[in-house]
């Protein structure tokens, strides 16, 4: 019994601290407005509480339930009876409620005393405190808050106990049965083994890819385009980080070079060159790749961490130089370059958001093709060896220097392509588009998706660039969650959402490799 209470206390403490943090950054109130949008539109008044307070309470209640349910979670096999479960959840709910209620009381009392808390804590406006105290006076409100969390904690414990173990297992078994029954059924096997199956899937995929931009509205096409550009960037960085294991924190530099190339070559200002997009595109890619090699040379002999900081510095240098007075006449300076030319197709402009989605899709397909080919080639295996152990790789006769340069150049080329498409689509580029956050976002895409995994990168770009666009209510909090997500991913799932399964690749692709690389003596036995 003591054990359960202790454990509940510890859980409650953690939940209470997280709760306090969330309140101090004003999250429950924002979550409340999302709940409001989701469940009702007009201001319903229930139990004498107005809608804002009610919606905030729904969110707080969910956390309270969770706190109660996890009260006994960590004691495996020791929460056997209702009494145990209730003891741990009561203790957890009590602690959680005490902390939050205490905070509410403290804030209320300070507010009553005339202290302007929002000067120091930006999210704690007088209205927020009122909401936190459920519209009551300080003491009543704090007690109610405490009671509410205590009760939801108990409820959570009861719910968690009632739904323990077997329910989840039964659901899992049922799903597994359905799925394997489907995959192994005769007609599915028959279809899958048909020689036209893969071509049909490809064709279907292409048709779908063609249809989406036609059907999606302007906003969705724009969002799709942004996500697509991040897929491109992610695939490029994936070559450097995922395949070759070189941590590049200055990836934005190559993106910027691509963007500025197309900007300076096609825009009326500052140079009035007005070249065609189709000429600027390869130049941008080549220049970015050249910059990749240029950066590669001095950092060739560095490893890991040194590389990270030098590449980070390189990214900053490019940005500072682009803004600097020295280069303003050349680069447009802090104002950036506007009226960047878009592509034309058979003499007609091909530069609406929809058209760009197609262009970006072609770019992605090309990138996927190149990277899959590379990965299964000798170069790809050399990278992999280098990533796993550089000294051994060198001892095996792999020329690590040229392979590193190659990884840099190829990664940079894709970033350049991304930059060209990005600048041309926005018709504008400026130094703010090329700050360190871009490098970090792209890195996050690769990491969250799964290093070295191509579908992972795509999934990562949708998750990190697409979701925040859809959930704009939480925009103030998205970067915070980004950060937390990176840490959590590293702890729970360092391989990413969609890990590359090297094993399945090696086995599944063995035939293809043999076919494609039959000319070159490979490392195969």
Partner 1 sequence: MEKTAVHKASMPVNTYRLIQIVLGVVFSAYVIWRFYDVFIGNPAYGADTWMRFAISGVVLGSVYALVAIGYTLVYGILFMINFAHGDIMMIGAFGGYFVFEALKNIPSPTVGDPHQVFLNAHPIISVILAFVVGMIVAAVSGYFLEKIAYRPLRNAPRLVPLISAIGASIFLENAALLLFGSQRRDFVNPVQLTRGTGWNIPVNGTTVILPYTGVLTFVLSVLILIALYLLVQRTRIGRAMRAVAENKSTAALMGIDVDGVISRTFIISGALAGAAGVMWGIHLGLVYYQVGFIPGIKAFTAAVLGGIGNIPGAMLGGMFLGIIEALGPAILGLPFQLKDVLAFGILVLILIFRPTGLLGEVLSEEKV
Partner 2 sequence: MSKRLFFVLSVLVVASMALAACGTAATPTPAPATQAPAAATQAPAATTAPAAGGKPDACATDAFGCAVFKPGDTIIIGMGAPMTGDNASYGIDAANGAKIAISDAGDFQGWKFALDAEDDGGTAEGGAAVANKFVSNPAVVAIEGHIFSGATQAAIPIYEKAGLPMMSPSATNPTLTQTGSKVFNRDVFTDATQGKFAAAYLYNTLKFTQIAILHDGQAYGQGLAQVVNDQFTKLGGTVVTFQAITPGLADYSAVLADVASKKPQALFYGGYVAEAVVLVNQMKQAGLTNTVFFSDDGVFGQDFLDRAGANAEGAYATSLIPPASDAKTKFDAAYKAAYGQDAGKLSPYSWSSYDAAAVLIKAIESVAIKGTDGNLYIPRGALVTAVRSTKDYQGLSGTISCDPTGECASSGPVFYQVKNGQWVPAAGQ
User: Footprint of partner 1 on this chain (CB under 8 A)?
Assistant: 21, 24-26, 120-123, 241, 245, 247, 297-306, 308-310, 312-314, 316-317, 320-321, 324-326, 391, 394, 397-402, 440, 443, 447, 451, 476-477, 479-480, 482-491, 494, 521
**Given CA atoms 318, 323, 324, 326 in this order, what sign does their dihedral have?**
positive
Furthest-apart CA pair in the chain: how many Å?
A: 83
> Does 511 help bind partner 2 (rule: CB under 8 A)?
no
- Asked if 442 and 283 touch (Cβ cutoff 8 Å), the reply is no
Per DSSP, the residues of 41-64 read SS---BTTB-HHHHHHHHHHHHHH
What mask, x for binding partner 2 by CB under 8 A, covers residues 350 to 369?
---x--------------x-
Contact with partner 2 (CB under 8 A) among 33, 338, 377, 517: 338
To partner 2, the closest distance from the beta carbon of 327 in angstroms equals 11
Distance CA 371, CA 407 (A): 11
Distance CA 185, CA 178 (A): 10
What letter does residue 462 receive in the DSSP assignment? Answer: I
125 binds, among partner 1, partner 2, none (CB under 5 to 8 A by kind): partner 2
Strand runs labelled E in 388-514? 428-429
Distance CA 485, CA 496 (A): 11
Per DSSP, the residues of 322-362 read HHSTTTHHHH-GGG-EESPPPPEETTEE--SHHHHHHHHHH
To partner 1, the closest distance from the beta carbon of 122 in angstroms equals 3
Q: Of 154, 11, 187, 184, whose CA–CA distance to 86 is shortest?
A: 154
Q: Of 63 and 237, which has the nearer Cβ to partner 2?
A: 237
Q: Of 39 and 204, which has the nearer Cβ to partner 2?
A: 204
To partner 1, the closest distance from the beta carbon of 1 in angstroms equals 29
Q: Of 18 and 98, which has the nearer Cβ to partner 1?
A: 18
Q: Of 10 and 136, which has the nearer Cβ to partner 1?
A: 10
Cis peptide before 270 (omega within 30 of 0): yes
Distance CA 223, CA 82 (A): 50
To partner 1, the closest distance from the beta carbon of 383 in angstroms equals 14
Site for partner 2 in 125-164 (CB under 8 A): 125-126
What letter does residue 465 receive in the DSSP assignment? Answer: I
Binding part of the chain for partner 2, among 23-31, 86-94, 132-140, 330-338 by CB under 8 A, reads 330-338
To partner 1, the closest distance from the beta carbon of 390 in angstroms equals 8
Distance CA 264, CA 262 (A): 6
Q: Of 219, 100, 79, whose CA–CA distance to 149 is shortest?
A: 100
386 binds, among partner 2, partner 1, none (CB under 5 to 8 A by kind): none
Q: Of 210, 248, 232, 246, whose CA–CA distance to 458 is shortest?
A: 232
Contact with partner 2 (CB under 8 A) among 201, 297, 392, 396: 201
Q: Of 193 and 391, which has the nearer Cβ to partner 1?
A: 391
To partner 1, the closest distance from the beta carbon of 379 in angstroms equals 13
To partner 2, the closest distance from the beta carbon of 460 in angstroms equals 11
440 binds, among partner 1, partner 2, none (CB under 5 to 8 A by kind): partner 1
Site for partner 2 in 445-464 (CB under 8 A): 454-455, 458-459, 462
116 binds, among partner 1, partner 2, none (CB under 5 to 8 A by kind): partner 2
To partner 2, the closest distance from the beta carbon of 190 in angstroms equals 17
- Asked if 498 and 459 touch (Cβ cutoff 8 Å), the reply is yes
Name the pairing type of β-strands 428-429 and 337-338: antiparallel
To partner 2, the closest distance from the beta carbon of 303 in angstroms equals 29
Site for partner 2 in 212-241 (CB under 8 A): 212, 215-220, 222-224, 226
Quickly count: other Cβ atoms within 10 Å of residue 322's Cβ: 25
Q: Which residues contact 466 (CB under 8 A, 6 or more apart)?
A: 223, 227
Q: Of 21 and 202, which has the nearer Cβ to partner 2?
A: 202
314 binds, among partner 2, partner 1, none (CB under 5 to 8 A by kind): partner 1
Cβ contacts of 323-331, under 8 Å, gap ≥ 24: 323/431, 329/270, 330/264, 330/270, 331/260, 331/264, 331/270
Q: Of 325 and 511, which has the nearer Cβ to partner 1?
A: 325
Q: Of 18 and 158, which has the nearer Cβ to partner 1?
A: 18
Cβ contacts of 436-439, under 8 Å, gap ≥ 24: 436/249, 436/252, 436/312, 436/315, 436/316, 438/251, 438/252, 438/255, 439/248, 439/249, 439/250, 439/251, 439/252, 439/312, 439/315
Site for partner 2 in 468-487 (CB under 8 A): 469-470, 472, 475-476, 478-479
To partner 1, the closest distance from the beta carbon of 237 in angstroms equals 13
Contact with partner 2 (CB under 8 A) among 116, 168, 301, 516: 116
Q: List contacts with partner 2 (CB under 8 A).
A: 116, 118-119, 125-126, 198, 201-202, 204-205, 208-209, 211-212, 215-220, 222-224, 226, 320, 323-325, 328, 333-336, 338-339, 353, 368, 372, 376, 422, 426-430, 432-433, 454-455, 458-459, 462, 466, 469-470, 472, 475-476, 478-479, 498, 504-505, 508-509, 512
């Amino acid at each position: 019994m003591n054990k359960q209470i202790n454990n509940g206390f510890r859980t409650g403490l953690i939940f209470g601290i997280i709760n306090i943090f969330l309140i101090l950054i004003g999250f429950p109130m924002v979550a409340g407005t999302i709940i409001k949008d989701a469940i009702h539109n007009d201001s319903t008044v229930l139990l004498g509480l107005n809608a804002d307070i009610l919606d905030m309470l729904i969110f707080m209640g969910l956390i309270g339930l969770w706190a109660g349910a996890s009260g006994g979670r960590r004691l495996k096999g020791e929460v056997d009876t209702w009494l145990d479960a209730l003891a741990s959840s009561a203790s957890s709910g009590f602690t959680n409620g005490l902390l939050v209620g205490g905070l509410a009381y403290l804030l209320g009392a300070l507010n009553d005393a005339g202290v302007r808390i929002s000067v120091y804590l930006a999210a704690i406006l007088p209205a927020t405190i009122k909401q936190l105290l459920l519209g009551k006076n300080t003491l009543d409100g704090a007690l109610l808050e405490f009671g509410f969390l205590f009760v939801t904690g108990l409820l959570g414990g009861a719910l968690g106990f009632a739904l323990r173990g077997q329910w989840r297992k039964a659901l899992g078994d049922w799903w597994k049965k359905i799925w394997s029954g489907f995959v192994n059924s005769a007609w599915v096997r028959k279809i899958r083994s048909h020689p036209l199956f893969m071509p049909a899937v490809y064709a279907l995929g292409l048709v779908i890819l063609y249809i989406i931009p036609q059907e999606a509205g302007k906003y969705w096409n724009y969002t799709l385009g942004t996500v697509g550009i991040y897929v491109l960037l992610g695939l490029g960085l994936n070559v450097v980080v995922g395949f070759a294991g070189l941590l590049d924190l200055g990836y934005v530099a190559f993106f910027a070079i691509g963007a500025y190339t197309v900007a300076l070559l096609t825009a009326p200002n500052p140079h009035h060159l007005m070249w065609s997009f189709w000429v600027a595109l390869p130049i941008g890619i080549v220049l970015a790749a050249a910059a990749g090699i240029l950066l590669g040379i001095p950092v060739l002999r560095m490893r890991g961490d040194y590389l990270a900081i030098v590449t980070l510095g390189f990214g900053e240098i490019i940005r500072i130089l682009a803004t600097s007075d020295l280069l303003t006449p050349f680069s447009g300076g802090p104002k950036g370059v506007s009226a960047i030319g878009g592509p034309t197709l058979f003499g007609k402009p091909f530069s609406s958001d929809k058209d760009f989605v197609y262009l970006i899709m072609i770019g992605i397909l090309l990138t996927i093709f190149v990277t899959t080919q590379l990965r299964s080639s000798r170069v790809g295996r050399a990278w992999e060896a280098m990533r796993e152990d550089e000294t051994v790789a060198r001892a095996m006769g792999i020329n690590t220097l040229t392979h590193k340069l190659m990884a840099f150049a190829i990664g940079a080329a894709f970033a350049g392509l991304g930059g060209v498409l990005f600048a041309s689509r926005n018709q504008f580029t400026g130094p703010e588009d090329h700050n360190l956050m871009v490098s970090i976002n792209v890195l996050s895409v690769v990491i969250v998706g799964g290093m070295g995994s191509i579908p992972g990168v795509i999934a990562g770009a949708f998750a990190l660039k697409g979701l925040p666009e859809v959930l704009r209510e939480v925009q103030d909090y998205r970067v915070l969650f980004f950060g937390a997500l990176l840490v959590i991913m590293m702890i729970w799932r360092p391989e990413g959402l969609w890990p590359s399964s090297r094993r399945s690749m090696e086995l599944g692709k063995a035939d293809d490799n043999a076919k494609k690389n039959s000319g070159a003596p490979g490392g195969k036995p």
